[in-house]
Amino acid sequence: MSNIWKHFRSLIEPTAAKIYGQITAVDPSGTIYTITTHTGSSMRAKGSGYNIGDRVFVIGNEIKSKAPVMPYYEFEV
């Protein structure tokens, strides 16, 4: 029964945006990173095992995984 409930909640809960950015600084503790996005915004996120210069995906305030180097294009419509 709890598995059905968890599945239902995952369907109705809003999902956080996946943000792509580059690590620009590491906190002395080694678990908090400063990430800069392609727009120049900075944010802090939790994680471990990453280095300055790594490109990562962030969801919420947590680094989920390393990301490939991807080109950035901006189109105005």
* CATH number of the 16-66 domain: 2.40.50.140
pLDDT digit string, tens, across residues 21-69: 999 999 998 899 999 998 899 999 999 999 999 999 999 889 999 998 8
Q: What is the pTM of this model?
A: 0.71
Which residues lie closer than 8 Å to 46 by C-beta, 6 or more apart?
A: 31, 32, 33, 61, 62, 63
Q: Where are the domains of the chain?
A: 16-66
Q: How confident is the model at residue 74, as a pLDDT?
A: 80
